[in-house]
Structure 1
Amino acid sequence: MGQDSSRHSTGGLRIPVLEWIRDYQKSWMKPDIIAGVSAAAVVVPKAMAYATVAGLPVQVGLYTAFVPMVIYALLGTSRPLSVSTSATIAILTAAALARVVPAGGAADLLRACATLAFLVGAILTLAGLLRLGFVANFISDPVLTGFKAGLAVVIVLDQLPKLLGIHVPKGAFFHNVLGIVIGIPHASMATVAVGLMTAIALVAIERYFPRAPAPLFALACGIGSVSLLGLQFQGVEVVGHVPTGFPAFTMPDLSLVASLGPAAAGIALMSFTETIASGRAFVESGEPVPLANRELVAIGLANMCGALLGSMPAGGGTTQTAVNRLVGARSQLSELVTATVTLGTMLLLGPLIGLMPQATMAAIVIVYSFGLIAPSEFRAIVAVRRTEFLWALVAVLGVVLFGTLPGILTAIVVSLLALAYQTSDPPVYVLRRKPGTNVFRPVSAEHPEDEAFPGLLLLRPEGPIFFANAQRVRQKIRTLIEGSHPQIVALHLRAVSDLEYTALKMLTEAEKDLRKQGIVLWLVGLNPGVLTMVQHSPLGDTLGRNRMFFNLDRAIAAWQAQRSSGNQEPSGGAVH
């Protein structure tokens, strides 16, 4: 998610809606309309369900699937991306609102929600204008995998009481587990039956009819069962009154900015990460790839505008985007169709939605939350590197034991620690030449025939060398020198992408130490940036052109010429 080129600068005059309207083809109209309606069948019930996860009225989910969807369709760079909310954003929103509105009064809750969504949007927009799209890279894939799995556990635990028809005071993880266990004997059998039937239906439809709108089917069955069987009189709780009509204008509460700011930053990071991942996952051949900084501005403005009309924080969703694309979406018109269907639901279907069982909502949330747990991803991580698997587990435990907002901080810190760990100990290889070739490779027991050069030690460090690892690299080089007693040490720096001031100072000091021992230092294969730094330093003056070489072949030729002539210094310039 690197920075966009200047051609696509967020400060430019290019407006995405004008671009896709200009390029729109008449043949796309029908598939866009069909895809938009199909996606709405998934988006509408899931958005309402996720609103309940956040502790908000179900209509807030509808507002979130309407306003942000429209704004993104006008400003976003991904053609199929469908924007509303997600399980990740919902549970983070719930944690944030619980801190500032512990009593949960409806008016205070909605005002805090609007403030949170507006802050999320402002942070995203500012990040886009400052071209900070690369920031999302600071959460590694293994840590994000663990973070989402931890969220799934928290969400399922949060929704189980609704599935059982019991009420459990919320607290820490083990408090909630204990409360559910104690409450099981008091569960409503009718509520459990509704929840289980809904879950079974969802799983069966997803497996055997993957393109069918399973959440819409579950919603219709839940409402139908209440209408026909009067389940609300048998202990099954329903959503209750849902107001119809256009959402009211809601102003953010500036007094909550300081308390909601840290949570908004975390939600903004998750929103952008999910948005860019979903958008890029469904790009087809010939389509433009979503641009990170323009996406930040688009999703930021979508959140800010949505906040003013009652929505919760929003972002791109993988499942609904997949439906949108698989059914045939060709442009952002499909998202406008989805928004239109959502608007129709808001204006006309409030009384029907009010009959939906809470257990149906909980079942929808639980079934789709399991999708956040990816066992195949964990297996792939542990097969490649056990250390990164450990980071993933730490992220899981951070969310489960400390809560979602501390969990996202844990995920970021763990990612940065993983990055620091990986870069603090770069490898330094001893090189030898494959016989009869100009191929140089690390010393290996599999290739004992590789050619060594008496008195010449070829070393190749890899990765950037900077203040955090410079002394570690120096120690490794010193150990290898002590084991071989060379006359010349040639550092092959082709694999060193950067050499900052501390590292350059380390090399300068190493050259002086080697010189005192009668050992000569050569530098080989410097890339242009590293070469420029060396040339502008005292080390460059000390080495001169005769001790810097363009490649290993020239270094070996200079070594051979030196041995034949008996000279202490190589005879020919080398960098060019």
Structure 2
Amino acid sequence: MAQHASGVRFGMSDLLAGVTASAVVLPKAMAYATVAGLPVATGLYTAFVPVLLYALLGSSRVLSVSSTSTLAILTATQLAAVVPDGDPGRLFTVTATLTLLVGAILLLAAALRLGFVASFISLPVLVGFRSGIGLVIILDQLPKVFGIHIQKDNFFMDLFHLIQALPETSWLTLAVALATLAILVVMERRFPHSPAPLLGVGAGIALVWGWGLNEAGVSIIGTIPVGLPGLTMPDLALVLQLLPGATGIALMSFTETIAAGRAFVQKGEPDIAPNRELAATGLANLGGAFFGSMPAGGGTSQTAVIRSVGGKSQWASVVTAAMALATMVFLAPLLSWLPHATLAVVVIVYSVGLIQPEEFRRIGRIRMMELRWAAIACLGVLLFGTLQGIVVAILVSLLGLASQTAQPRVYVIGRKPGADVLRPLSGQHPGDETIPGLLIVRPEGRLFFINAQYVASQVRQLIESEAPRVVVLDMSRVQDVEYSALIMLMEKEQRVRAAGIDFWLAGLNPGVLENVRRSGLARQLGEGRLLFNTRAAIRQYQQQYPLPDDRADRD
């Protein structure tokens, strides 16, 4: 058995996983190439060079890197903008340049150690974005299923045009599509992670070739070049024109790669290294650019197949790349009989999973605000297009982050009756007690210029409603206090002191305490008003202002 660079030996399990995965990867790669408006051979090239390069360089044991539905539709949008007439020669050059740029951006991000951007788009926003992408892809493929042609504009106009064109449906084409759909659905339900795409493609080819359906009007792929991909040179004059789109594709490629890689890490395996993933996917795209591939990234479904049949290392992906090579050399003439309708159904079946209504419901049950973010991200894709949808998704994520940061939680702290338990007052614990004359307020998170005035406003409202003798700001949940917040605290202390109210700080961590001392706030307060924790503040308050009943004795 051979030894992989990761130290994992090549065995029969990896051989089986690679062969099985190729039965899923290759048909889908060809289908995604058509989504991008490229020949199916481009899909085979993408399942060869990027897969092989990532297998040698990536940090995941089993992640399969090739084309994905999301990257395909993003690529399609960019190619349509630059090559509106679909000139084949121009398409190859633009695709090579776009893929090169995607790889270069990922490599630059790796050099700058920007692996943290994998978490840049929040999960609810990503759910909405993917759902929008899924709807766009499905609508884009439906005309091929019905054997009709429509004018492409935007999602809602395309839907209108599709409905108008339905009377022109080619019933033979629809029958081929439905036969493929039946095979895929039955196989996926009865035998998950089976080579269903391969069977669907084989059935489509058999129907056309056996009955001569292409002569009856069923559109087929046509001639596919036999042999290795030729060398394709990018056009550097296109860099500025393609750069914005390439940046969005690179971000989505990395996001999908990290998500898929992390999803399949098993116990005892090394964690995914984000910066190494940036470098590995960058080089995979960079190498693929010169050999006819389209932008690539980690795919969840093919990786799931590798895991499900016992794949243990990147040797499985090496086998998949070898199968892609064998297909290019030996099976290209057979694939020329493949119906467009069959490939369209493959795309639709494996894009439906991008639309996750149950995930929307889960988000809504937990937090309605984040459900709105998901809905906005989805509508952004449908209204403005896929590449612009990335911008909408990022902006929504940033607005969500800004909203949470600008309005941190500010709690009033109470005490559980008969127990030494301090917790925020809430409707879940209506019996919790507060100490007369003492207001304990706990902000959470980092205090800085964005939220300092909000926190000050919340504290002011609580003081006005409670009219306490002493206000204790419980800082135990505050990790850091920036200059603007320190000035706010100093001003707040002066105002409440002028109103005859004592202002204390409790539970400061060492870093925050150091900043409080440097700012002069500690000197302004005096050591007696800087308490170790909230319980110490309660004891000091009860000593200074003893209660007339026996509650004071309990403390």
Q: 1:526 aligns with which of 483, 508, 528?
A: 508
Please state how far the C-alpha of 1:96 moved relative to its aligned partner.
0.6
1:37–1:553 CA distance, 2 compared to 1 (3 A): same
- Partner of residue 5 from structure 2, selected from 21, 37, 40: 21
Of 230-239 and 435-444, the range deviating more from structure 2: 435-444
In the alignment, is residue 268 of structure 1 matched against residue 250 of structure 2?
Answer: yes
For residues 326 and 345 of structure 2, what CA distance do their matches in structure 1 show? Answer: 25
Structure 1 residue 538 corresponds to structure 2 residue 523: no
Aligned to 2:110: 128
Decide which of 379, 386, 405 is 1:404's aligned counterpart: 386
Count of residues in Structure 1 that have an aligned counterpart in Structure 2: 546
Displacement of 1:563: 3.3
**Which residue is 1:487 aligned to?**
469
Q: Provide the residue aligned with 1:238 in structure 2.
A: 220
Q: CA deviation at 1:544?
A: 4.0
Q: Please state whether the residue corresponding to 1:504 is helix, strand or coil.
A: helix
Deviations 1:163-213 (A, max 9, x none): 111122221223322322222111211111001111121111100111320
In 1: Cα distance, 2:91 partner to 2:526 partner: 69
In 1: Cα distance, 2:35 partner to 2:189 partner: 25
Which whole-Å CA distance do the structure 2 matches of 1:551 and 1:171 have between them? Answer: 62
Q: Distance in 1 between matches of 2:429 and 2:315?
A: 60
Q: CA deviation at 1:464?
A: 2.0
Q: Which amino acid aligns with 2:5?
A: I
Q: Is the 8 A contact 2:97 2:238 kept in 1?
A: yes
Residues 75, 230 of structure 1: CA spacing in aligned structure 2 closer, same or farther, 3 A cutoff?
same
Counterparts of 2:388 and 2:125, CA distance in 1: 14
Distance 1:274 1:483, change over 3 A: same
Q: Which of 435, 446, 454 is equivalent to 2:417?
A: 435
Residue matched to 1:10: none
CA deviations on 1:56-76 (whole Å, 9 max, x unpaired) are 011110111111111111110
1:90 equivalent to 2:72? Answer: yes
Shift of 1:564: 6.2
1:4-403 superposed matches below 5 A: 21=5, 23-25=7-9, 29-403=11-385
Aligned mates of 1:416, 1:553 — CA distance in 2: 37
Are residues 265 and 192 of structure 1, via their aligned partners in 2, closer, same or farther at CA, if it must alter by over 3 Å? same
State the partner residue of 2:450.
468
Query: How big is each residue's C-alpha offset from its partner over 1:502-558, in whole Å with a ceiling of 9 and x where there is no partner?
Result: 222211211121222222221111223322222221213323433222211211222
Name which of structure 1's ranges 218-227 and 40-49 shifts more when overlaid on structure 2.
Answer: 218-227
Quote how far apart the aligned CAs of 1:158 are: 0.8
CA distance in 2, matches of 1:499, 1:322: 45
**Contact kept? 2:156, 2:382, Cα under 8 Å:** no
Q: Distance between the aligned counterparts of 1:299 and 1:277, measured in 2?
A: 13
Name the counterpart of 2:493: 511
- SS of the residue 1:364 aligns to: helix
The alpha-carbon deviation at position 340 of structure 1 amounts to: 0.7
Structure 2 Cα separation of the partners of residues 22 and 99 of structure 1: 41
Deviation at 1:448, TM superposition (A): 5.0
Letter in 1 for 2:353: G
Q: Distance in 1 between matches of 2:161 and 2:237?
A: 34
Shift of 1:21: 3.1
Displacement of 1:226: 1.5
The separation in 2 between residues aligned to 1:382 and 1:187, in whole angstroms, is 39
1:12 matched residue in structure 2: none
CA change 1:523–1:252 in 2 (3 A) is same
- Alpha carbons of 1:492 and 1:72: their partners in 2 closer, same or farther (altered >3 Å)? same
For residues 198-246 of structure 1, give each alpha carbon's deviation from its aligned partner in whole angstroms, at most 9, with x where no partner exists: 1121111100111320000011111111211111111001000100111
Aligned 8 A contact 1:251 1:308 in 2 = yes
Measured against aligned partners, the alpha-carbon deviations of 1:110-151 in whole angstroms (never above 9, x if no partner) come to 111111111111111111121111112121111111111111
Task: Tell me the alpha carbon deviations over residues 264-303 of structure 1, each in whole angstroms, 9 at most, x when there is no partner.
Answer: 1111111111111111101111011111111111111111
Contact 2:221–2:340 under 8 Å retained in 1 = yes
Aligned residue number for residue 571 of structure 1: none
Task: Tell me by how many angstroms 1:472 deviates.
Answer: 1.0
Q: Distance in 1 between matches of 2:54 and 2:534?
A: 53
> Aligned equivalents of 1:118 and 1:226: distance in 2?
37
Note closer, same or farther for the CA distance 1:21–1:174 as it changes in structure 2 (3 Å cut): closer
Q: Which amino acid aligns with 1:510?
A: K
Please tell me whether the aligned partners of residues 438 and 553 of structure 1 are also in contact (alpha carbons under 8 angstroms).
no
Shift, 1:386, TM fit: 1.5
Please give the alpha-carbon distance, in whole angstroms, between the structure 1 residues aligned to 2:176 and 2:510.
67
Amino acid in structure 2 at the alignment position of 1:471: Q
Q: Secondary structure at the match of 1:458?
A: strand
What SS does the aligned partner of 1:265 have?
A: helix
Name which of 402, 405, 410 aligns with 1:420. 402
Residue 431 of structure 1: SS of its match in structure 2?
strand
Give 3-state SS (helix, strand or coil) of 1:536's partner. helix
Q: Which amino acid aligns with 2:300?
A: T
CA distance, structure 2, for counterparts of residue 439 and residue 177 of structure 1: 59
Corresponding position of 2:550:
none
Measured against aligned partners, the alpha-carbon deviations of 1:71-128 in whole angstroms (never above 9, x if no partner) come to 1111100011011011100000000111111111111111111111111111111111
Deviation at 1:387, TM superposition (A): 1.6
Give 1:429 deviation, angstroms.
1.3
TM-score calculated relative to the size of structure 2:
0.95
One-letter code of the match for 1:52? Answer: T
Cα distance in 1 for partners of 2:253, 2:3 equals 25
Mapped to 2, the partners of 1:188 and 1:149 lie a distance apart of 29
Native 8 Å contact 2:4 2:315 kept in 1: no
Mean Cα deviation higher: 46-55 or 487-496: 487-496
State the 1:20 CA deviation: 5.2
Q: What percent of counterpart residues are identical?
A: 56
Instruction: Give the direction of change, closer, same or farther, for the CA distance of 1:449–1:231 in structure 2 (3 Å limit).
Output: closer
How far apart, CA to CA, are the structure 2 residues paired with 1:367 and 1:482?
60
Aligned ranges for residues 557-568 of structure 1 at < 5 Å?
557-563=539-545
User: Offset of 1:329 from its aligned partner?
Assistant: 0.7
- Partner of 1:21, secondary structure, is coil
Unaligned runs of 5+ in 2: 548-555
Q: Is the 8 A contact 1:465 1:500 kept in 2?
A: yes
